[in-house]
Amino acid sequence: MLPHPASPRRIRHLLAVALIALACSAPYAMAEDATASRSEMIRSLLPTVVNIAVRKDVVTKVNTASTSASGGGHSEVKAYVGSGFIIDPSGLIVTNYHVVENAFDITVTLSDGTLLPGKVLHASRVADLAIVQVKASHPLTPVQWGESNKLRIGDQVFAIGNPLGLGTSVSGGIVSGLNRDAQESPYDNFIQTDAAINHGNSGGPLFDMEGKVVGVDSAMVSPTESFSGLGLAIPSDDARFVVERLLKYGWIRPGWVGVKVQQVTRDIAEAMGQTQPVGSLVSWIMPDSPASKAGIEIGDVILKYGDDTPSDERALLRDIGQTDVGKTVNMTVLRKGEQQVLPVTVAPWPRQRWEERDAPTAALQPMGKIPPDLGLTLTAIPKEQRSKLDLADGLNGVLITKVLANSDAARRGAVSGDIILRVFDKPVASPAEVLHGIAEARSEKRPFVLLLVLPKVRTIPGPRWVTLRLTEGAG
């Protein structure tokens, strides 16, 4: 017996039920697809992030009457961890300056577990940024820079780093504040986020939901030693400017006009007869500076810099610093109640004066100093001393100038005046090359480093091989 055909009314009812069911399930399917897509994107970014382990020679002060007067204390090797991200396939990595400051040994761990010795290429203390270089056997995966100036409070972000040395970890949150002043420098412009940032996250990337770097995780604000909901990141626009300048010039080479300014507060505004506190008040002008030549005077209030109206004195200083050298910018000032437009030609910040406030790379990584647990201090061999040291023509080496008492080197007979010719099978001609060889041995977990040494006192002619113990887990 054949079933009765469904009535048109019955068909319409069934169709409506199906459409409702489809409409209800669609958001869940879309949410699942979005979650899967986001997870896939995050996993694809893991190879762009690295863990950084450093060893530093830390002087611990002893608070006693006998040592405080002479600045005494004792030195010990300590280990620290941080993060970084790859910006070039050749092995250029961005991290915080404070992660690698004064480090004599830097080990970079890639996402696949590969350990590589790192070397600081350039750095800026003021910007708290450094570029570390590694040499890998294959091209590395770089990040994509994002535009931090497009961030808005409430935007979703996530951080990838090495919190507390646990290994690569991901945390998510939102942008909870912008243009924060942590009083770290006159240019502070931090992104505030509630994505978890702990010790070890420093130098790692803050990503937007397109997988682009919009910040460099740099600090946390907390009454305790752990994360409390307030993390700070350097905006990518500022970080990218610094990194590009460091790579191009070896220093930031910021624009300079030679003015000292301070924010116009409500009290200052009332004292000057202003109805609202706006602009930056000029408190000093450097003699023979671009500002002086342009006619800017002490007491002027800078309202505009070109087409930009800086929100505060930090924004004004950032605008000046990021201006191309030689460019002429119209500066709008308020003087005695009247606005004036004064063209100012931006000059480079005087190099020597800048380095008084920003540590050059040479001061960052003491290349002539071997890790303290080995007990050696080295120097390149001056040309005038080659004949005195009885070095044959074409033979290079690195001179030991000091051996720490009771060190492993001292116990093995090293003395000041010995010359290191090779580290393993590689000839060396500079302290940096010796350091690199030692760092490679550490990264390969070798218990000893092998040195070919030309002794100062030679009972038997020629050099000899010497081993020095690489202390495991020092610090």
Same domain, 61 and 207: yes
Determine, yes or no, domain membership for 98.
yes
Same domain, 339 and 244: no
The answer to whether the pTM exceeds 0.75 is no
Q: Check if 436 is active-site.
A: no
Q: Check if 308 is active-site.
A: no
pLDDT at 82 over 90: yes
Determine, yes or no, domain membership for 356.
no
Query: Tokens 């409506």 — which residue?
Result: 16
Same domain, 165 and 185: yes
Confidence of residue 2 (pLDDT cuts 50, 70, 90): very low
Listed residues 253, 270, 288: the one ending a domain: 253
Determine, yes or no, domain membership for 9.
no
Domain of residue 83, residue span: 48-253
Least confident piece of the model among 152-166, 209-223, 248-262, 373-387:
373-387
Q: Which residue from 411, 405, 402, 398 is spatially nearest to 438, judged by alpha carbons?
A: 398
Q: In what order do the strands lie in the sheet with 73-88?
A: 115-117, 103-109, 49-61, 73-88, 92-95, 129-133, 119-124
58 compared with 195, residue with greater pLDDT: 195
pLDDT at 222 over 90: no
Same domain, 237 and 295: no
Same domain, 307 and 297: yes
Same domain, 63 and 194: yes
Same domain, 388 and 309: no
Count of Cβ atoms closer than 10 Å to residue 135 Cβ: 12
Instruction: Calculate the average pLDDT of the chain.
Output: 83
Q: Select which of 57, 122, 124, 128 is catalytic.
A: 128
Q: What is the pLDDT of residue 458?
A: 73
Determine, yes or no, domain membership for 422.
yes
Q: Which residue from 334, 182, 316 is spatially nearest to 262, judged by alpha carbons?
A: 316
Question: What are φ and ψ of residue 448, in 5° steps?
Answer: -135, 155
Least confident piece of the model among 7-11, 55-59, 458-462:
7-11
Determine, yes or no, domain membership for 6.
no
260 compared with 357, residue with greater pLDDT: 260
Confidence of residue 20 (pLDDT cuts 50, 70, 90): low
Per the structure, how many domains does the chain have?
Answer: 3
Same domain, 232 and 245: yes
Q: Select which of 148, 202, 236, 443 is catalytic.
A: 202
> Which run of H or E residues covers position 362?
helix 361-364
pLDDT at 474 over 60: no
Q: Which residue from 9, 68, 319 is spatially nearest to 186, judged by alpha carbons?
A: 319
The residue type of 426 is K
- Considering 10-14, 72-76, 259-263, the range whose residues carry the highest mean pLDDT is 259-263
Residues 293-336 pLDDT 10s: 999 999 899 999 999 999 888 999 999 999 999 999 999 999 98
Q: Residues, the chain, total? A: 475
Q: Which residue from 263, 257, 432 is spatially nearest to 349, judged by alpha carbons?
A: 257
Same domain, 66 and 213: yes
Listed residues 213, 237, 253: the one ending a domain: 253
Listed residues 202, 224, 253: the one ending a domain: 253
Instruction: Classify 235 as helix, strand or coil.
Output: strand
Q: Which residue from 108, 70, 69 is spatially nearest to 92, judged by alpha carbons?
A: 108
Q: Which residues contact 145 (CB under 8 A, 6 or more apart)?
A: 212, 213, 236, 240
pLDDT at 356 over 60: yes
Same domain, 317 and 425: no
Q: Check if 122 is active-site.
A: no
**Are residues 342 and 27 in contact, defined by beta-carbon separation less than 8 angstroms?**
no
Q: Select which of 83, 98, 237, 373 is catalytic.
A: 98
Q: What is the pLDDT of residue 372?
A: 63
Q: The domain that contains 197 carries what CATH number? A: 2.40.10.120
Determine, yes or no, domain membership for 155.
yes
DSSP state of 308: B
Same domain, 216 and 239: yes
pLDDT at 51 over 70: yes
Same domain, 239 and 380: no
88 compared with 446, residue with greater pLDDT: 88
Determine, yes or no, domain membership for 34.
no
Q: The domain that contains 447 carries what CATH number? A: 2.30.42.10
**Are residues 119 and 365 in contact, defined by beta-carbon separation less than 8 angstroms?**
yes
241 to 65, 208, 362, 431: CA distances (angstroms): 48, 19, 21, 31
Determine, yes or no, domain membership for 64.
yes
